[in-house]
Amino acid sequence: MSILSPMKILLIYPYFLNTRLHNPADVRAVPLGVYYVAGMLKQHNYDVEILNWHNINTTSHTIREALTDRRPDVIGFSILNANRWGGIDIARIAKQADPRVTVVFGGIGATFLWQHFLTHFPEIDYVVIGEGEYPFLNLVRSLDAGQPQAIESIQGLAFRKDGQVLRTPDADPIHQLDDLPDPAQYFDFQHLALTRGCGGNCNFCGSPRFWGRRVRFHSADYFVDQLERLFNKGIRFFYFSDDTFTVNKKRVIAICRKIIEKKLDVTWNAISRVDHVNEEILYWMRKAGCIQISYGVESGSEKIRKFLLKNISIEGIQSAFAITQKYGIMARAYFIYGNPGENRQTIQETIDLINAIKPLSTIFYILDIFPGTALYEDFKQRLNASDDIWLNRIEDIMYFETDPDITREMILGFGQKLRSSFFENLPGFVEAIELIDNVDLYPQHARFLSRLGMTFDFGDYAAIDAIPNKDRLVERLYQKSLTYFPDAEAYLGLGIRYQKRDAQQDAIDILSKGLSHFPNDPRLNICMGVGLMNQAKYDQALDRFLKFQDEKDALQFAARCYEAMGDPENAAALLEKYKEMKNHDRAG
């Protein structure tokens, strides 16, 4: 039997300085690397806890209490550039609460600023440089064994000694990624990665310097085993967060086949490059549950793509978007604006490209300058700046702030123009979707269209007024979905729409059809129950609701039926149960 070390280790994902308008999942989620470090420590019998403090109440009182309760010996912080002040603030509180605690910074934001952190912030004891699993484990072991002198021989670390900041030689990249213990044995998470490294060389991106330009891989077995472990814990949706998931097509197809063979009914998003997909891989990805691929397009201007060292062609971009959407996968385009030389014409070129590739989702970023990138080295030279810039309590530096030719007003105007043009044209992009006529993919096509309908009806696009003609679009998507295959969401979406416009009989008809295919679908049954209530058929509605007492809505509607039927006692009992469930959800 293994003996747990008495050492207590906390791994903290600290909060960001600015509240994010959109809080995308990739900012909310603890970076995957933290789970790998934690998994490694667990495998060596250390007591590890991960704290996702990306949005913790920033009062020092709450943080102090949480740290005092846990009494950690070592705290590792997962640092991105934008949350480094969160890390520093929490480290300060931790040291005040217990001066003996060892504070370690790691991650991409720490790796490129190790000297800065150790020079200016006495509350930071060590910085792990690059891949964290082995340096962090070796550091903890040395501390645990009471051998601080051994720390100097650990590769991939920086620390202070006799008033000097020192850095040991870099650790070798981990070549056999499968040797790493699978963190899914110990933790639940949704972000997975098949690879480490990126062959690209974009000048705004720190990934190649952090992970290396040679791509390293997990085996298909390791990857699918990890997915299966998480699936068995009830997780059904995943983000494959590799820089380019599809670098090795054979391996990705092997993964997709395994997911299908093992009947892992999951959906997932992936990230790729437009020059790394073809129809064969997209077919398998769609069959295995892929619903979205994000591509870095960056700009419609050839000149700007060249400046950013984004080595992709217009033809490549157009082809990737066309074939991705043809297989019923939402193609998302990332764009960067506020680049050197950005002007009305380059923005128009980007708009023209968007209109040509018709993406169903876009993300527009302003060009940021991060340590670890070629752009940052250029910035330091141009402005004769140093890492001391980060002593300011800022999250990042935007390129336009360093270029007198571009003003903030221009950039904000460009952003607005890009977004409003996209939203205005989005319905046309949806109308233009042409799915491949492959019977084998009909169920997936039906699901793709109904999911898209739901996105406009209840999801991200529902609240965006700049998108015209949403109602018509949504209904057409649901209807088109049903031309491919019976789909529960499409029936439900239409049922709700018909009810809202008081076409009660149409609603009953479409829901009846849906229920003939999916008799046990709780949402269809509840929606049908509501339709029956609208027709004052309370007893029939009640029968349906009572079959689904695990569903909050069913309880609430059943209570209303009892009330309408003159049975306040049963109504009150169900409402009580409903409230309990709601409170339980909130607490969860």
Question: Cα–Cα distance between 514 and 279 in angstroms, integer?
Answer: 32
Nearer to ligand SF4, 201 or 318 (CB): 201
Q: Work out how close the CB of 277 gets to ligand SF4 at its nearest, in angstroms, rounded to a whole number.
A: 13
Q: Does 156 bind ligand SF4 (CB under 6 A)?
A: no
Backbone phi, psi, residue 577, to 5° = -60, -40
Closest separation in Å from C-beta 297 to ligand SF4: 11
Interface region with ligand SF4, contact rule CB under 6 A, candidates 123-131, 205-213, 218-226, 438-446:
205-213
> How near is the Cβ of 208 to ligand SF4 at its closest, in Å?
5
Query: Looking at 149-157, 202-210, 287-295, 416-424, which segment touches ligand SF4 (CB under 6 A)?
Result: 202-210
Mark the segment that binds ligand SF4 (CB under 6 A) among 199-207, 256-264, 493-501, 554-562.
199-207
List the beta bridge partners of residue 13.
52
Asked whether position 72 contacts ligand SF4 by CB under 6 A, the answer is: no
User: Min. distance of Cβ 204 from ligand SF4 in angstroms?
Assistant: 7
Question: Which residue's CB is nearer to ligand SF4, number 204 or number 429?
Answer: 204
244 with 195: CB under 8 angstroms?
yes
We find the least distance from the C-beta atom of residue 147 to ligand SF4, in angstroms, to be: 38
d(CA 344, CA 155): 49
CB of 198 to ligand SF4, least distance (A): 3
The one segment of 156-164, 194-202, 455-463, 505-513 that binds ligand SF4 by CB under 6 A:
194-202
Does 200 sit near ligand SF4 (CB under 6 A)?
Answer: yes
* Region class of 202: left (phi > 0), else alpha (psi between -120 and 50), else beta: beta
Q: Report, in Å, the least distance between residue 308 CB and ligand SF4.
A: 8
Angle at CA 455, nearest 5°, toward 454 and 457?
55
418 and 260 in contact (C-beta within 8 Å)? Answer: no
| Closest to 119 in 3D by CA, of 376, 391, 385, 394 | 391
Residue from the set 205, 304, 375, 490 that interacts with ligand SF4 by CB under 6 A: 205
Positive or negative: CA dihedral 299, 305, 308, 309: positive
Mapping DSSP to helix (H, G, I), strand (E, B) and coil, where does residue 109 land? helix
Residue 248 DSSP code: S
Number of helical (H) and strand (E) elements in the chain, helices listed first: 24, 17
Considering beta carbons, is residue 200 or 531 the nearer one to ligand SF4? 200
Phi, psi of 7 (to 5 degrees): -70, 135
Closest CB to ligand SF4 among 127 and 193?
Answer: 193
Tell me the site size for ligand SF4, rule CB under 6 A: 10
- Taking the C-alpha atoms of residue 387 and residue 113, their distance in angstroms, rounded to an integer, is 7
Min CB(311)–ligand SF4 separation in Å: 9
Yes or no: say if 495 and 515 are a contact pair by the CB < 8 Å rule.
no
**Which stretch in 104-112, 203-211, 437-445, 461-469 sits in contact with ligand SF4 by CB under 6 A?**
203-211
Quote the least distance from Cβ 273 to ligand SF4, whole Å: 6
Give the contact letters, 272-301, x = binds to ligand SF4 (CB under 6 A), - = no: -x----------------------x-----
Question: 320-359: which residues touch ligand SF4 (CB under 6 A)?
Answer: none
Binding pattern for the stretch 228-247 against ligand SF4, x by CB under 6 A and - elsewhere: ---------------x----
Out of 208, 300, 338, 529, the only residue in the binding site for ligand SF4 (CB under 6 A) is: 208
Encoded tokens for 395: 């999250």
Residues in the chain: 588
What's the gap between Cα 135 and its chain centre?
A: 27
Distance CA 126, CA 79 (A): 13
Q: Is 77 helix (H, G, I), strand (E, B) or coil?
A: strand
Stretch in the footprint of ligand SF4 (CB under 6 A) among 204-212, 248-256, 481-489, 492-500: 204-212
Q: How far is the CB of 460 from ligand SF4 (least distance, A)?
A: 23
Handedness of CA 149, 153, 157, 163 (dihedral sign): positive
Q: Of these, 50, 129, 198, 508, which contacts ligand SF4 (CB under 6 A)?
A: 198
125 binds ligand SF4 (CB under 6 A): no
CB atoms within 10 A of CB 176: 10
Alpha carbon dihedral 175, 181, 184, 188, in 10-degree steps, equals -90
C-beta closer to ligand SF4: residue 132 or 200: 200
* Separation of alpha carbons 435 and 445, rounded Å: 7
202 binds ligand SF4 (CB under 6 A): yes
| Element of type H or E holding 541 | helix 538-546
Cβ atoms of 39 and 180 closer than 8 Å: yes
If binding is defined by CB under 6 A, does position 514 make contact with ligand SF4?
A: no
Distance CA 264, CA 323 (A): 25
Q: Nearer Cβ to ligand SF4, position 298 or 342?
A: 298
9 vs 198 by CB, closer to ligand SF4: 198
Q: Which is nearer to ligand SF4, 294 or 455 (CB)?
A: 294
Task: With contacts defined by CB under 6 A, name the span among 84-92, 198-206, 365-373, 446-454 that binds ligand SF4.
Answer: 198-206
Beta-bridge partners for 298: 335
**Residue 128: phi, psi to the nearest 5?**
-90, 130
Instruction: Please enumerate, as own/partner, the contacts of 451-456 that have beta carbons within 8 Å and a separation of 24 or more.
Output: 451/291, 451/489, 452/330, 452/360, 452/477, 453/477, 453/478, 453/481, 453/489, 453/490, 453/493, 454/489, 454/493
Site for ligand SF4 in 2-31 (CB under 6 A): none
Residue 370 or 390 having the CB closest to ligand SF4: 370
Q: Does 207 bind ligand SF4 (CB under 6 A)?
A: yes
> Hey, what amino acid is at 30?
V
Q: How far apart are CA 67 and CA 97, in angstroms?
A: 8
Least distance CB 81 / ligand SF4 (angstroms): 15
Cβ proximity to ligand SF4, 197 vs 289, nearer residue = 197
Chain residues that interact with ligand SF4, rule: CB under 6 A: 198, 200-202, 205, 207-208, 243, 273, 296
